[in-house]
């Protein structure tokens, strides 16, 4: 189906569906544990006068399970539903009732939503709804342009990868394109195995076609005809919705041979990892796709020169690819209007921990830790006080409340070793001793080490042992010296896990030294 005909058909379908009363049920990994699937089944069987649609989560995880009822131009959000007790008639009857939306309003009020604008409001299983809202139009426009023109738009946007390394996207695509080899590959990294991070799952669950569109554009620009979406084995909802989206894109001529009647062809395949934080490291990911051990490769050569099966390979994070269609549609200059001069654009932040409103947040880069925790997250739970925030995951560190004005910009948020990473922010209150948090972060790195590099294999568990000494009040001053030595040694490791595993130590020695010294033997 040619583009104009496909677009007209999609708009016609959307107009017809918009007239029907509907209930959008936000089904995602965040609400599954709260029984949302029971709620979905109830509504599907009993709300006969409504079209019941399964959508992704809009980011307000604290309000789950939640639905949006749409009728006669009126939308009503209902959250924190108890699926085992609520009746369908109660939900329908509440459509006309006034309700307090202050929490929801506070959560969304200051956000700047670009990549998650559709999540929670678009049926991830309906390609025509996505197209009617502007989806795949950027792909169509790119196919009318020379790849170099598209690269110019990306260079203007200054888009950097959102997976943790923040490498310039245009430079990576251009590099892969420069190697004159027949076969090139695009890989979307959706492994996301670290604790406190759930942004990519939200995107795959809520707006899978946006990711596919970004991948096809990446293939066109970098000269690749084959792509892989790498998904964590536990992210079964993500895989199901990506699989369905790929099938729909193929059926409508947006994947496969001669896309939209052009000479460009691009195939896409899903691969699942068996789990493990280290699988998110790009060369380890490549090894697992090829069927080898989950260990990192020596670099150089870098993947853009020699990646999958020794061919030039572009590896981008899921969130990174989700930005591509919007940047193409709006232009690189508009993308630079938010964020900072050095780090333009928005970023997804996984906000969790001991706060009132947890969820997925999209804010301009440069937003402070305090804005996320207090303005959007609502601050501490009743009768508690926040003492610190873990930022950037286990390869980073923590900030005390006195540093909550620190800007969330890549790569380094604070010189003590706190990095932005994939954008996790976990609030910690006065119930948990800081030393226990330090130990948990260090232990995660020790457990997840693949064991290939001696400094990481031997150093990370030794760090845990030294921290255990402090926890048991058996520490010695020499233990603090050894911790510093190990933290300085770890960066010689091959991959990011080992290279950054010492950050939790350097961060603690600078910002939480009193907590460490409290574990020293007094006699």
Each residue's pLDDT tens digit in the chain (523 positions)?
689 999 999 999 999 988 899 999 999 999 999 999 999 999 999 998 999 999 999 999 999 999 999 988 788 999 999 999 999 999 988 877 777 889 999 999 999 999 999 999 999 999 999 999 999 999 999 999 999 999 999 999 999 999 988 999 999 999 999 988 779 999 999 999 888 999 999 999 999 999 999 999 999 999 999 999 999 999 999 999 999 999 999 999 999 999 999 999 999 999 998 778 889 999 999 999 999 988 999 889 999 999 999 999 999 999 999 999 999 999 999 999 999 999 999 999 999 999 999 999 999 999 999 999 999 999 999 999 999 999 999 999 999 999 999 999 999 999 999 999 999 999 999 999 999 999 999 999 999 999 999 999 999 999 999 999 999 999 999 999 999 999 999 999 999 999 999 999 999 999 999 999 999 988 6
Q: Are residues 180 and 215 in the same domain?
A: yes
CA 34 – CA 40 distance, rounded (Å)? 12
CA 432 – CA 392 distance, rounded (Å)? 19
Q: Are residues 330 and 367 in the same domain?
A: no
Residue 214 confidence (pLDDT): 98
Residue 73 confidence (pLDDT): 78
Residue 250's domain comprises 127-335
Q: Are residues 181 and 320 in the same domain?
A: yes
Residue 246 confidence (pLDDT): 98
Residue 434 confidence (pLDDT): 97
Whether 11 maps to a domain, the answer reads no
Q: Are residues 439 and 425 in the same domain?
A: no
Residue 352 confidence (pLDDT): 98
Contact 351, 376 (CB under 8 A): yes
Closest C-alpha among 313, 350, 315 to residue 189:
315
Angle of CA points 85, 88, 92, to nearest 5°: 125
**Cβ-Cβ contacts under 8 Å for 402 (sequence gap 6 or more):** none
Give bridge partners of residue 398 from the DSSP assignment: 390
Q: Are residues 223 and 89 in the same domain?
A: no
Angle, helix 318-330 to helix 208-222, in steps of 10 degrees: 80
Q: Are residues 326 and 390 in the same domain?
A: no
Q: Are residues 421 and 454 in the same domain?
A: no
Q: Are residues 323 and 178 in the same domain?
A: yes
Whether 523 maps to a domain, the answer reads no
Residue count (the chain)? 523
> If DSSP codes are grouped into helix, strand and coil, which group holds residue 60?
coil
Residue 98 confidence (pLDDT): 74
CA 109 – CA 396 distance, rounded (Å)? 29
Q: Are residues 280 and 133 in the same domain?
A: yes
What the block records as the tokens of 288 is 């697992």
Q: Are residues 368 and 268 in the same domain?
A: no
Whether a cis peptide bond, with omega within 30° of 0, leads into 301 is yes
* Residue 15 burial by Cβ neighbours in a 10 Å radius (0-12, 13-18, 19+): exposed
Q: Are residues 365 and 422 in the same domain?
A: yes
Q: Are residues 189 and 330 in the same domain?
A: yes
Contact 189, 315 (CB under 8 A): yes
Contact 285, 189 (CB under 8 A): yes
Residue 229 confidence (pLDDT): 98
Closest C-alpha among 337, 339, 379 to residue 357:
379
Angle of CA points 238, 25, 212, to nearest 5°: 30
pTM for the structure as a whole: 0.96
Residue 72 confidence (pLDDT): 83
CA 520 – CA 443 distance, rounded (Å)? 20
What domain count does the chain have? 4
């Amino acid at each position: 189906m040619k583009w104009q005909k496909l677009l007209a058909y999609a708009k016609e379908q959307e107009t017809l569906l918009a007239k029907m009363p509907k209930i959008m049920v936000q089904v995602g990994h965040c609400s599954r544990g709260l029984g949302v699937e029971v709620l979905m089944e109830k509504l599907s069987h009993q709300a006969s006068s409504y079209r019941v649609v399964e959508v992704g989560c809009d980011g307000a995880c604290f309000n789950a399970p939640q639905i949006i009822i749409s009728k006669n131009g009126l939308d009503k959000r209902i959250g924190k539903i108890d699926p085992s007790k609520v009746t369908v008639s109660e939900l329908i009857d509440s459509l006309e009732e006034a309700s307090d939306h202050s929490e929801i309003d506070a959560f969304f009020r200051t956000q700047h939503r670009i990549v998650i604008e559709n999540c929670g409001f678009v049926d991830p299983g309906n390609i025509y709804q996505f197209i009617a809202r502007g989806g795949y139009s950027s792909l169509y426009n790119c196919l009318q342009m020379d790849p170099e023109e598209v690269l110019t738009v990306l260079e203007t946007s200054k888009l950097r990868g959102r997976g943790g390394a923040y490498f310039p996207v245009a430079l990576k695509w251009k590099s892969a394109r420069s190697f004159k080899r027949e076969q090139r590959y695009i890989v979307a990294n959706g492994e996301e195995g670290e604790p406190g991070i759930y942004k990519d799952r939200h995107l795959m669950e809520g707006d899978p076609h946006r990711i596919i569109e970004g991948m096809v554009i990446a293939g066109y620009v970098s000269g690749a005809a084959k792509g892989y979406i790498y998904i964590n084995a536990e992210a079964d909802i993500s895989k199901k919705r990506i699989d369905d989206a790929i099938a729909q894109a193929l059926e409508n001529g947006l994947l496969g041979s001669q896309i939209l009647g052009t000479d460009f062809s691009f195939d896409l395949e899903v691969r699942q990892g068996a789990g493990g934080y280290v699988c998110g490291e790009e060369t380890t990911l490549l090894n697992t796709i090829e069927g080898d051990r989950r260990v990192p490769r020596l670099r150089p050569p870098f993947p853009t020169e020699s990646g999958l099966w020794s061919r030039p390979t572009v590896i981008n994070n899921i969130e990174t690819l989700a930005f591509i269609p919007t940047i193409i549609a709006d232009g690189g200059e508009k993308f630079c209007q938010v964020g900072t001069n050095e780090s333009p654009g928005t970023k997804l932040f996984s906000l969790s921990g001991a706060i009132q409103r947890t969820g997925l947040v999209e804010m301009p880069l440069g937003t402070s830790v305090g804005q996320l925790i207090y303005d959007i997250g609502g601050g501490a739970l009743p009768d508690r006080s926040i003492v610190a925030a873990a930022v950037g995951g286990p390869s980073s560190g923590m900030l005390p409340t006195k540093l909550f004005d620190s800007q969330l910009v890549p790569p380094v948020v604070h010189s003590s070793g706190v990095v932005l990473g994939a954008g996790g922010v976990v609030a910690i209150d006065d119930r948990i001793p800081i030393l226990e948090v330090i130990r948990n972060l260090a232990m995660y790195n020790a457990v997840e080490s693949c064991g290939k590099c001696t400094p990481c294999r031997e150093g990370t568990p030794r760090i845990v042992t030294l921290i255990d000494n402090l926890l048991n009040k058996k520490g010695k001053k020499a233990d603090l010296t050894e911790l510093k030595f190990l933290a300085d040694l770890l960066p010689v490791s091959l991959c990011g896990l080992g290279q950054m595993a010492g950050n939790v130590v350097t961060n603690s020695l600078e910002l939480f030294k009193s907590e460490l010294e409290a574990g020293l033997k007094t006699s």
